Structure 1
Amino acid sequence: MTTRTATAAVLACAALLTSPAAPTAFADAPDALQACGAYTEDRSTSREEALARTRTWLEAHVPYSQRACHENEHGSYRTDCSGFVSLAWGLDRSRPTSGLGEVSREIPREELMPGDALNSPGHVALFVRWEDGARTRPVVREHTGPDGEPVVERAWSPETAARYTPIRYDRIVG
C-alpha cells in the first residue's frame, strides 16, 4: 500500500466517523474505483423503478466497497454511493459523484421528488421522501461505508441535508 493510498484510507474512515453521510476520500479518484458493467446507453427510468431498483440492494444487504461490483437483474454496478445512484437511474456504467452532473441538473430543494438525488463532492444519496411536512428532513437511501456496511434508508438532519445539492436525472420519467 502506498503512502498516498494509506492516507486516503485514513481520511475516508475519519470522514465516515464524523458524519453518517460524510464524503469518502476515494469517491472521485477514478484510478481507485472498480469498473463494473457497461451498457449501450443511459436508460429512461421512472421514479418508481428507481426506488424498486435500489430496494433490491437494500433487501440484499449489499456491502459497501469502491472496489467491488454487485450484479443482479438490473445490471452490474460498483457498490459505493455513486454506483448505487447509477444503478437507481439505469446509467450506462457506474459513474463517480463528479460524473453525475453529466446526466443530471440541479433543482430547487422544494422540488425534490422520489428518485432525485442529493449530491455533494464525494457523496451522493437517493431521495425517497420527506420525513416532515416542513421539508427539512429528507429520507434517503445511501451507501456510505465503511467497507462491508450495507445500503441504508434513513432520515437526514436539516444540517446534513443543507450540505447537499438536489439534482434530477435528465432521463427520469413520471
Structure 2
Amino acid sequence: MTTRTLVAVLACTAALQAPLAHADPEGSIACGTTPEDRTTSRTETQSRSQSWLDERVPYNQNACHSNAFGDYRTDCSGYVSMAWGLTHSRTSTTLREVATEVPRADLRPGDALANANHAALFVRWADEAKTEPVVREQTGPDGQPPVERKWTADTAAAYTPLRYYKVVEDL
C-alpha cells in the first residue's frame, strides 16, 4: 500500500467515524449518545426532568450526568435534551434542529422556551392569561441544581416557544 493510499484510507475512516461522535458543536464536552432521538410523551418529559431535580444534578457546562435516562451535559440545553430523549446534548441554538416553533399560547408540558443563550422546559402556565410560564431549568452558576420556577411575562417574551418533533400526547 502506498503512502498516498494509506492517507486516503485514514481520511475516509475519520470522515465515516465523525458523525457517530455526536460532540456538541462548541466542542466543550461530549457525553454519551443514544442511537436515535426517542419518541417521548409529555408525561415522560416531566418524569425525566424531575429525575434531575430529585438528584440535585449540579450545573456545569463541562460535565455529564448519567442516570436511567442517559448521559447528558449538565447545562440548560443538556437538561432539555435529556427530558426530550435526544441522541446527545444539543445547545440552546441547535435544539431548533429537532423542534418547531409554536404559538406561545399553545405551549404544553414538555415544550421548551429557548433563545441563543438559554433553554428551559415548559411545565405549565402560572396565570390564566398565559403570560407567566412555570419552567424547569438547569442554570448556573456552577454547582447549582436545576430548579422549577415561574418566569415573568417579560422574561418569557425573550424566548421562542419550541415543540420537540417526536413528542406525543398522553393517552
Structure 1 position 98, deviation (Å): 1.3
C-alpha distance in 1, partners of 2:53/2:148?
Answer: 8
Structure 1 stretches of 4+ moved >4 Å: none
Which residue matches 1:83?
A: 78
Structure 1: which 5+ residue stretches go unaligned? 1-27
1:160 aligns with 2:155: yes
1:136 aligns with 2:131: yes
Match among 15, 22, 30 for residue 26 of structure 2: 30
Summarize the alignment of residues 1-174 of structure 1 with structure 2, pairs less than 5 Å apart.
30-31=26-27, 33-174=28-169
Structure 1 position 101, deviation (Å): 1.1
Q: What is the CA deviation profile of residues 55-100 of structure 1, one whole-angstrom value per residue up to 9, with x for unaligned ones?
A: 0000111000000000000000000000000000000000111111
Structure 1 position 123, deviation (Å): 0.4
Structure 2: which 5+ residue stretches go unaligned? 1-23
* SS of residue paired to 2:93: helix
C-alpha distance in 2, partners of 1:78/1:50?
Answer: 17
Q: In the alignment, residue 157 of structure 1 is paired with which amino acid? A: T
* SS of residue paired to 2:162: strand
C-alpha distance in 2, partners of 1:169/1:95?
Answer: 13
Which residue matches 2:18?
A: none
C-alpha distance in 2, partners of 1:98/1:131?
Answer: 26
Q: Percentage identity across aligned positions? A: 58
Structure 1 position 122, deviation (Å): 1.2
C-alpha distance in 2, partners of 1:95/1:29?
Answer: 8
TM-score by length of 1: 0.82
C-alpha distance in 1, partners of 2:83/2:144?
Answer: 19
Q: In the alignment, residue 139 of structure 1 is paired with which amino acid? A: V
TM-score by length of 2: 0.83
* SS of residue paired to 1:97: coil
Structure 1 position 29, deviation (Å): 6.6
Structure showing greater radius of gyration is 2
C-alpha distance in 1, partners of 2:105/2:49?
Answer: 23
Root-mean-square deviation (CA), in Å? Answer: 1.0
Q: In the alignment, residue 87 of structure 1 is paired with which amino acid? A: M
